[in-house]
Amino acid sequence: MPEITMLEAIREALFEEMQRDPAVVTLGEDVGVYGGAFKVTEGLLAKFGPERVIDTPISETAIVGAACGMSYLGLRPVAEMQFIDFIACCFNQVTNFIAKSHYRWGAPVPMVLRGPSGAGVHGGPFHSANPEMYFVHTPGLKVVYPSTAYDAKGLLKSAIRDNNPVLFFEHKFLYRRVKEDVPSEEYTVPIGKAAVRREGRDLTILSYAAAAHTSLEAAQQLAKEGIEAEVIDLRTLLPLDREAIVRSVKKTNKLLVVHEDTRTGGIAAEIAAIVCEDAFEHLDGPIARVTALDTPTPYAPPLEERFLPSTERVAATARELAQY
């Protein structure tokens, strides 16, 4: 199995799905001639031509609206946001048309809306967003946010084949930093299933995307102190793997949720409610959370570092919870 980056794994998924199914097309700003802002789509134009790899105007609303229309006509478009922050421009298209079409008149919308998200690369307040919770709150969508190269490839392939609209978040900090052995042979990863990244007995740490790596680093620190944390990577935020969450909390009896999204209204709050509904009697301590601060993402590196959940903050919170 070759070792490749997350970015390369996403590119492989696009190549393989476009080769497998002629209905799959990709569109977005600079996805063709330039190969994408981060070079995710490099080589697609030469392989599949301009009818299937479509450079668009700088209009997120037009990109998403066109992709929606394509899906109505039997295509499987993969639309790229150059930065996921600008999905805000097409919020109406996503929430009032794409998410509701199947419910309103039985029209499946087999499209993927993908793009780079997250902070840690000093992109400032307009190029570092984690807007996943706007869409987790929207029935009719699926929301995927992988943390590994293997999962990124397998989940993107599943997303492209899904008859529902899928929002696929790609943490840009991980694009070239995460490397992994990824099978050359065909495989997919199911949407809606979490992954246990580390077994533990003393507390559960739930996370996803870049924060999953932060959580694993904290768990390794804690292990040196005799505290064994179970780390679960959610991978999919909608649908959420409720069974995996409850099962782990019943095992460890304590829960810490870590995410890079801002604190108020983040997925940690929904997970806390789920645990209170389904596993309250198993809790031996308060549900804790380590998140980004409730501010826009700062540009200055020291401020961005303070804004994001760090290994030290996760370890300190987990330590307190384990001793509760």
Q: pLDDT (tens digit, 9 = 90+) per residue, 20-51? A: 999 999 999 999 999 999 999 999 999 999 99
pLDDT tier at 1 (50, 70, 90 boundaries)? confident
Pair 247, 126 in one domain: no
Pair 87, 33 in one domain: yes
Is residue 187 in a domain? no
pLDDT tier at 2 (50, 70, 90 boundaries)? confident
Dihedral (CA of 88, 53, 7, 135) sign: positive
Contact indicator for 50, 32 with CB cutoff of 8 Å: yes
- The CA distance from 172 to 127, in Å, is 10
pLDDT at 148 over 80: yes
Task: State the residue range of the domain holding 241.
Answer: 195-322
Domain count of the fold of the chain? 2
Domain boundary among the residues 181, 207, 227 is at 181
Domain boundary among the residues 152, 181, 210 is at 181
Pair 91, 228 in one domain: no
Q: What would the mean pLDDT of 210-222 be, rounded to a whole number? A: 98
pLDDT tier at 15 (50, 70, 90 boundaries)? very high
Is residue 56 in a domain? yes
Pair 177, 207 in one domain: no
- Strands 166-171 and 112-117, sheet pairing: parallel
Domain boundary among the residues 150, 181, 212 is at 181
Mean of pLDDT over the chain: 97
Q: pLDDT (tens digit, 9 = 90+) per residue, 157-196? A: 999 999 999 999 999 999 999 999 999 899 999 999 999 9
Is residue 188 in a domain? no
- The CA distance from 26 to 214, in Å, is 32
Catalytic residues: 127
Pair 74, 52 in one domain: yes
